[in-house]
């Protein structure tokens, strides 16, 4: 090898005799170990190693060079002149000459490689930690989902049991309430004092209110637990059915002014009892929250392909935040009128009855304009609607 190329090589180079004596070293070799070329010449290569390196040289490195003739990327720790370690990777080959074998050694620094390996190891540890964390999180999530599913199932069973109990109790209350109302009606036929008639009137009104509550509860449990609210649709005169309902409601709510308006004419195929129930719930709602100094308007409308019942009152505006959930069970727009309202199922029952007839219910409420609930029936579910004129 040309002397200039040997001396200026980017790696440390050395040539040793078979016993390890250094024959030649380049500038990089001297620089890495802090010895001059003169100081290195004549020293043994293995004497420049740490104790562990010397043992490895004697038991592995030297035998491999003798037997195989070469070694590649053997990692060794060498000692600098001042005592600190210099880690190198060694490549070596055996070269035969007339006067004996020569070992050509090339040494490469490992600082950048060690740094890369450490970073790679740290990255691997981080990845393993993240994988472990992910696995732990997934197991915790599965356990939480299982617990949530079990809790939901328990809650569903409890809710179903509670609704079934409500249905049973509500049904069983019908008979004693009917007996109370019949007894009240019988007693009111005889001669009674003003105070007695007043008390009998309270009994009659309270029993009617209780019967409405029970009817709502039974319909609610039928919709939630059973197969839905049933109807028996038949041809009817919507105006006549509405007028009959309004007449009965005037007796139930003597303090309210109920006005019936009709639009259009014709027959519709609906369940008369359920239509009257819808009107009764909407009027009860208006009595509870409306201004009883002004009339409550009930409008029955027959039009092309549909029919509608609407109830309007002059009460305060319903807050926009409550409109979206107004037809959900156990919902009230305000605490006003709680002594008149039912158990918060009236509007929910109205919506379910409208839907089982193939229609739906809508509400509009404005400041100064009052509140209007409109139940629209169509041909789907309730049968065809035959109308004439508007």
pTM of the model: 0.49
pLDDT digits (tens, 9 = 90+) for 67-79: 999 999 999 999 9
Closest CA to 363 of 352, 354, 373, 375: 373
Lowest mean pLDDT among 46-60, 137-151, 339-353: 339-353
List, in order of start, the domains of the chain with CATH numbers: 3-109 (3.30.450.20), 124-224 (1.10.287.130), 234-388 (3.30.565.10)
> pLDDT value at position 173?
63
Question: Confidence class of residue 5 from pLDDT cuts 50, 70 and 90?
Answer: confident
Residue 208 has pLDDT above 80, yes or no: no
pLDDT digits (tens, 9 = 90+) for 85-125: 999 999 999 999 888 899 999 999 887 666 777 778 888 88
Strand pairing category for 258-263 and 265-270? unpaired
> pLDDT value at position 384?
37
Residue 163 has pLDDT above 70, yes or no: no
Cα distances (angstroms) measured from residue 110 to each of 50, 207, 269? 16, 97, 93
pLDDT digits (tens, 9 = 90+) for 6-15: 888 889 999 9
Alpha-carbon 320 to chain mean position: 25
> pLDDT value at position 3?
72
The C-alpha atoms of residue 209 and residue 214 are separated, in whole angstroms, by 9
> pLDDT value at position 10?
84
SS (H, E, C) 263-331: ECEEEEEECHHHHHHHHHHHHHHHHHHCCCCCCEEEEEEEECCEEEEEEEECCCCCCHHHHCCCCCCCC
The percentage of the chain sitting over the pLDDT mark of 90, rounded to a whole number, equals 41
Lowest mean pLDDT among 166-180, 278-292, 309-323: 166-180
> pLDDT value at position 189?
77
Mean pLDDT across 155-159:
71
The C-alpha atoms of residue 61 and residue 135 are separated, in whole angstroms, by 45
Lowest mean pLDDT among 78-87, 337-346, 379-388: 379-388
> pLDDT value at position 388?
34
Residue 308 has pLDDT above 90, yes or no: yes
Lowest mean pLDDT among 46-55, 208-217, 268-277, 287-296: 208-217
> pLDDT value at position 331?
61
Mean pLDDT across 216-240:
76
> pLDDT value at position 387?
34
| 283 and 296 Cβ atoms separated by less than 8 Å | yes
The C-alpha atoms of residue 66 and residue 94 are separated, in whole angstroms, by 7
Residue 82 has pLDDT above 80, yes or no: yes
Question: Confidence class of residue 199 from pLDDT cuts 50, 70 and 90?
Answer: confident
> pLDDT value at position 80?
93
> pLDDT value at position 174?
57
> pLDDT value at position 389?
34
Q: Mean pLDDT over all residues of the chain?
A: 82
Between 304 and 232, the higher pLDDT residue: 232
> pLDDT value at position 223?
66
> pLDDT value at position 382?
39
């Amino acid at each position: 090898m040309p002397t200039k190329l040997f001396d200026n090589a980017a790696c440390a180079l050395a040539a040793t005799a078979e016993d390890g004596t250094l024959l030649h070293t380049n500038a990089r070799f001297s620089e890495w170990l802090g010895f001059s070329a003169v100081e290195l010449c004549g020293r043994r290569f293995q004497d420049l190693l740490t104790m562990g390196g010397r043992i490895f040289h004697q038991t592995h490195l030297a035998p491999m060079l003798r037997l195989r003739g070469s070694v590649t990327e053997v990692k060794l720790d060498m000692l600098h002149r001042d005592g600190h370690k210099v880690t190198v990777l060694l490549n070596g080959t055996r070269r035969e000459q007339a006067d004996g074998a020569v070992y050509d050694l090339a040494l490469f620094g490992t600082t950048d490689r060690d740094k890369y390996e450490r970073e790679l190891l740290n990255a691997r540890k981080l990845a393993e930690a993240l994988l472990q964390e992910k696995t732990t999180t997934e197991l915790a999530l599965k356990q939480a989902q299982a617990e949530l599913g079990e809790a939901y199932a328990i809650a569903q069973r409890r809710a179903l049991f509670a609704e079934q109990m409500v249905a049973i109790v509500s049904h069983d209350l019908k008979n004693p309430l009917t007996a109370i109302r019949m007894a009240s009606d019988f007693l009111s036929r005889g001669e009674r004092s003003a105070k007695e008639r007043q008390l009998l009137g309270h009994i009659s009104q309270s029993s009617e209110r209780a019967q409405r509550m029970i009817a709502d509860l039974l319909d609610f449990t039928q919709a939630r637990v059973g197969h839905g609210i049933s109807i028996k649709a038949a041809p009817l005169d919507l105006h006549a059915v509405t007028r009959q309902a309004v007449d009965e409601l005037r007796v139930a709510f003597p303090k309210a002014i109920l006005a019936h308006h009709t639009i259009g004419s014709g027959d519709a195929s609906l369940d008369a009892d359920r239509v009257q129930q819808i009107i009764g719930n909407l009027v009860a709602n208006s009595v509870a929250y409306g201004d009883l100094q002004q009339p409550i308007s009930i409008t029955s409308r027959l039009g092309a392909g549909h029919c509608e019942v609407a109830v309007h009152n002059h009460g305060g505006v319903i807050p926009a935040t409550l409109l979206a959930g107004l037809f959900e069970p156990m919902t009230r727009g305000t605490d006003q009128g709680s002594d008149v309202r039912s158990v918060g199922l009236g509007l929910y029952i109205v919506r379910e009855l409208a839907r089982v007839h193939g229609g739906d219910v809508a509400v509009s409420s404005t400041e100064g304009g009052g509140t209007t609930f409109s139940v629209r029936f169509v041909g789907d579910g309730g049968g065809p609607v035959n109308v004439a004129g508007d």
